[in-house]
Amino acid sequence: MAGQLCWLPKFGSGGTLALHLRLEPYHPWKPHTAFPHLCSPDYPIANGTRGWATCQKLLASGWTAIPTAQARKSIDAPVRTLIGLVGDVGCN
């Protein structure tokens, strides 16, 4: 099973990036820790990047890396669509 991976900001982290995965292009992005069966233990390096070992393992297994900017667009697109729909609905 090969999916997609990218580095997105962790919620409430002030912009710190974390590894996110999705099994299919139409699935939402989820932190790699939501997939314990796919995770590899992090390297024992002080202040090391969480998920780097998992990223390397998945890339070697045929997963596709998606640029952060492209992944952000896929997150923002449904929000813009919903905002557009709400803007079209009259509230009387």
Mean pLDDT of 21-26: 94
* 90 pLDDT higher than 90: no
Q: What is the pTM for the complete model shown? A: 0.76
Domain boundaries, the chain: 4-88
* 76 pLDDT higher than 50: yes
Report the mean per-residue pLDDT for the chain: 82
Q: In what order do the strands lie in the sheet with 17-22?
A: 30-31, 17-22, 4-9, 64-65
**Beta strands per DSSP E along 1-65:** 4-9, 17-22, 30-31, 64-65
Q: What is the pLDDT of residues 28-62, one digit of tens each?
A: 999 999 999 999 999 999 888 889 999 999 999 99
Q: Cβ atoms within 10 A of the Cβ of 25, count?
A: 10
Contact present, 44 and 31 (Cβ < 8 Å) = no
Contact present, 18 and 35 (Cβ < 8 Å) = no
Q: How confident is the model at residue 19 (pLDDT cuts 50, 70, 90)?
A: very high
State the Cα–Cα distance between residues 28 and 8, nearest whole angstrom. 12
